[in-house]
Amino acid sequence: MSALPSVSGKNRAVGAGTYDVVVVGAGFAGMYMLHRLRGFGLSARVYEQGSDVGGTWYWNRYPGARCDVESMQYSYSFSNELQQDWEWSERYAPQPEILKYANHVADRFDLRKDIQLDTRVDRAAFDEEANTWSVTTSDGNTVVAKYVVLATGCLSNARMPDIKGLAGFKGKVYHTGHWPHEPVDFTGLRVGVIGTGSSAIQSVPVIAEQASHLTVFQRTANFSIPARNAALTPEERDSFRSNYPELRRVAREETKNGILQELPDRGALDDGDNERRVKYEARWSRGGLTFMSVYNNLAIDKAANDTAANFVRGKIAEIVRDPGTAKLLQPNNHPIGTKRICIDTDYFATFNRPNVTLVDIKSDPIEEITANEVRTGARDYKVDALVLATGFDAMTGSVARIDIRGRNGQTLNQKWAEGPKTYLGVMSAGFPNLFIITGPGSPSVLSNMMVSIEQHVDWIADCVSYLRDRDLVSIEAKKDAEEKWVAHVNEVAQTTLYPQANSWYMGANIPGKPQIFMPYIGGVAVYRQICNDVAAKGYEGFAMTAAEHPRAAAAS
Ligand code: NAP
């Protein structure tokens, strides 16, 4: 393939099928990436496999779906007009409202003309001579781009459980991460929900109100904190709006997870029993994810963590009337917070309803699904519909579905066979000009995704602009920088309790997936500083190639 003419910014005529940047995915990451690239006068094409924008909020339409980060914070900060104008209705926005917001952003910033919907990216191959990517989509087209940005989302690859007989089930089967667009009515039906992660914990109380009977099949109990969701008052909205610049700055620069919270000045064992209980009660009453930040050592000290875990176990015992059911619902195989903590509305209380049954499939596993039953070793449960809340091939799953070929034809899947390897989570050595948004090795899923998305997009946009301004045709993570970063990500993870849980953070929910702690646990503030420093030092740890020396790019 011959080299593309060098990209010269605003006035460049874009030939059919050639772009400066191809962006994969039109969720919040892909849309903002497009907006930033346009701001530099770069041409970009976004491919989205869904029939509309919104990413995770397009697919996850299950009953009760809403964000577990507060709406005033789970929103873009890049446009002050946008954040001043948009009216979030509730403390935690429901999925339809977030999807409406995504659509509003697409229209407001005129993004749709560069987004091709209903189109999957199947293949991307790097041309080492031209320093370009050749991108093949599900409609059979191939386009050429200088850069590819994977804005594919971390929880986009819904995972169907491998349960014998599932295909022969005669009723309807729904996956929470791939919910139909038409309304689903469970009225009068016997429904089975398999799984008890965040998606189940949100949907179970809503499904229980409709179903004639709901059977919840639980393998692992999860910690959940009440959301305390409520309508936002005009005063609450205004207090954010009038302080947005500072609040956004604090979230980015002073927190670990991009969520506003008081920073604890002590560990759990520095307080006596009564004082601790009062603090946990206050956080429980307030609700939400900040429960875990009441003390500064819950993620690193098991004895401290036990105090929080015991408090929540106690709450479950208070709420759930049947002691046997309460005991089953009390998590006991991982420290609190080491699996993504759940946020619920009446989840535990739902098990007090006469039409809800909890089945412990850890002690009595599902053996098979027949035409109209879920069959465990001990008994058969008749169901008319099944809801699979069985999660995702997280962080790497949606990237792994694309046949990505870098230098020497190596695929990203081959390179990541023993676990994802990236430098700063944004690039992987051997794959020049390929960026990943909120990829493994970045804070990503441990943070408010909006904060992490904006930071990555801004960093990538600045990087692409830097390259263009200097007539550089490629950038690539150096192997040694990548190795050091991977070691650092692991080292930081090992100082915490997180690796003690068989979580999707570790890849433990996918049989055969390498078990490596994937996100960077150092926090968004620290991470942002590292990324900024790397850029300020002329992209330290990255190899760059000038236009006239296209072959000198081999990573050291
Ligand atoms: P998840 O946390 O991975 O939970 C999957 C559940 O399915 C687990 O209880 C798992 O049990 C069970 N499971 C998986 N395979 C099974 C099998 N073959 N047989 C029986 N049980 C099986 O998935 P999720 O609930 O969809 O949540 C994933 C992530 O999405 C969350 O952690 C969160 O980050 C995000 N999310 C966010 C929100 C929000 O913002 N409000 C809502 C939903 C999801 P084991 O634990 O034993 O494997």
214 lies in the same domain as 360: yes
**10 or 212: whose pLDDT is higher?**
212
**Residue pLDDT, tens place only, 332-385:** 999 999 999 999 999 999 999 999 999 999 999 999 999 999 999 999 999 999
Percent over 70 (pLDDT), the chain: 96
Q: For 363-428, where are the E strands, in sequence order?
A: 366-369, 373-376, 380-382, 385-388, 403-405
The CA-atom distances, in angstroms, between 145 and each of 42, 43, 213, 240, 519 are 11, 9, 53, 40, 28
Percent over 90 (pLDDT), the chain: 91
Q: How confident is the model at residue 3 (pLDDT cuts 50, 70, 90)?
A: very low
415 lies in the same domain as 278: no
389 lines ligand 1 (CB under 6 A): yes
The yes-or-no verdict on residue 528 having pLDDT over 90 is yes
Domain-located, residue 232? no
Residue among 91, 155, 163, 199 to mutate when testing ligand 1 (max atoms within 8 A of CB): 199
Residue nearest to atom 15 of ligand 1 (CA): 390
Q: How confident is the model at residue 531 (pLDDT cuts 50, 70, 90)?
A: very high
CA of 390 to the centre of ligand 1 (A): 5
144 lies in the same domain as 164: no
Residue among 163, 201, 449, 509 to mutate when testing ligand 1 (max atoms within 8 A of CB): 509
> Per the structure, how many domains does the chain have?
3
**Residue pLDDT, tens place only, 436-485:** 999 999 999 999 999 999 999 999 999 999 999 999 999 999 999 999 99
The residue to which tokens 């050429």 are assigned: 144
CA of 322 to the centre of ligand 1 (A): 25
pLDDT at 549: 52
Residue nearest to atom 21 of ligand 1 (CA): 195
Residue among 175, 198, 218 to mutate when testing ligand 1 (max atoms within 8 A of CB): 198
**Residue pLDDT, tens place only, 306-335:** 999 999 999 999 999 999 999 999 999 999
235-259 mean pLDDT: 97
**Residue pLDDT, tens place only, 265-303:** 999 999 999 999 999 999 999 999 999 999 999 999 999
pLDDT at 554: 40
509 lines ligand 1 (CB under 6 A): yes
Domain-located, residue 248? no
pLDDT at 430: 98
CA of 176 to the centre of ligand 1 (A): 10
Residue among 175, 219, 445, 506 to mutate when testing ligand 1 (max atoms within 8 A of CB): 219
CA of 503 to the centre of ligand 1 (A): 9
**Residue pLDDT, tens place only, 164-216:** 999 999 999 999 999 999 999 999 999 999 999 999 999 999 999 999 999 99
Q: Looking at the CA of residue 177, tell me the nearest atom of ligand 1.
A: 26
Dist CA 150 CA 147 (whole Å): 10
Question: Letter for the amino acid at 159?
Answer: R
Domain-located, residue 10? no
CATH number of the domain that residue 64 is part of: 3.50.50.60
135 lies in the same domain as 27: yes
CA of 545 to the centre of ligand 1 (A): 43
Please name the residues in contact with 105: beta carbons below 8 A apart, sequence gap of 6 or more.
31, 53, 76, 82, 111
**Residue pLDDT, tens place only, 460-472:** 999 999 999 999 9
Cβ atoms of 74 and 451 within 8 Å: the answer is no
350 lies in the same domain as 280: no
433 lines ligand 1 (CB under 6 A): no
The yes-or-no verdict on residue 9 having pLDDT over 50 is no
Residue nearest to atom 28 of ligand 1 (CA): 391
DSSP string, 181-248: SS----TT-EEEEE--SHHHHHHHHHHHHH-SEEEEEESS---EEE----BPPHHHHHHHHTTHHHHH
Cβ atoms of 330 and 318 within 8 Å: the answer is no
131 lines ligand 1 (CB under 6 A): no
Helix extents (H) in 401-448: 412-415
Q: Looking at the CA of residue 200, tell me the nearest atom of ligand 1.
A: 25
197 lines ligand 1 (CB under 6 A): yes
23 lies in the same domain as 40: yes
479-503 mean pLDDT: 95
CA of 198 to the centre of ligand 1 (A): 6
195 lines ligand 1 (CB under 6 A): yes
The residue to which tokens 């429904």 are assigned: 191
Q: What share of the chain is helix, strand, coil (3-state, %, to 5)?
A: 35, 20, 45
229 lines ligand 1 (CB under 6 A): no
CA of 200 to the centre of ligand 1 (A): 7
The conformation of residue 62, written as its DSSP 8-state character, comes to -
419 lies in the same domain as 543: yes
Listed residue (70, 73, 521, 448) closest to 288, CA to CA: 70
The yes-or-no verdict on residue 1 having pLDDT over 80 is no
Domain-located, residue 147? yes
Domain-located, residue 329? yes
Domain range holding 301?
Answer: 261-338
Q: Looking at the CA of residue 60, tell me the nearest atom of ligand 1.
A: 43
Domain-located, residue 520? yes
DSSP string, 75-136: S--S-HHHHHH----BSS-BHHHHHHHHHHHHHHTT-GGGEE-S--EEEEEEETTTTEEEEE
Dist CA 55 CA 153 (whole Å): 7
Listed residue (232, 241, 244, 247) closest to 85, CA to CA: 241
209 lies in the same domain as 348: yes
Domain-located, residue 112? yes
The CA-atom distances, in angstroms, between 99 and each of 28, 75, 173, 185, 343 are 10, 12, 24, 21, 20
Domain's final residue, options 374, 391, 408: 391
Residue nearest to atom 10 of ligand 1 (CA): 195
Domain's final residue, options 338, 362, 381: 338
Q: How many CB atoms lie within 10 A of CB 328?
A: 19
145-162 mean pLDDT: 94
Cβ atoms of 519 and 545 within 8 Å: the answer is no
331 lines ligand 1 (CB under 6 A): no
The yes-or-no verdict on residue 8 having pLDDT over 70 is no
535 lies in the same domain as 496: yes
How far, rounded to the nearest angstrom, does the alpha carbon of residue 431 sit from its chain's CA centroid? 23
305 lines ligand 1 (CB under 6 A): no
68 lines ligand 1 (CB under 6 A): yes
Domain-located, residue 485? yes
Cβ atoms of 358 and 195 within 8 Å: the answer is no
The yes-or-no verdict on residue 64 having pLDDT over 70 is yes
Residue among 390, 392, 502 to mutate when testing ligand 1 (max atoms within 8 A of CB): 390
Q: How many CB atoms lie within 10 A of CB 117?
A: 15
436 lies in the same domain as 516: yes
CA of 25 to the centre of ligand 1 (A): 22
Q: How many CB atoms lie within 10 A of CB 57?
A: 25
pTM: 0.94
219 lines ligand 1 (CB under 6 A): yes
43 lies in the same domain as 74: yes
Average pLDDT value for the chain: 94
CA of 268 to the centre of ligand 1 (A): 28
202 lies in the same domain as 173: yes
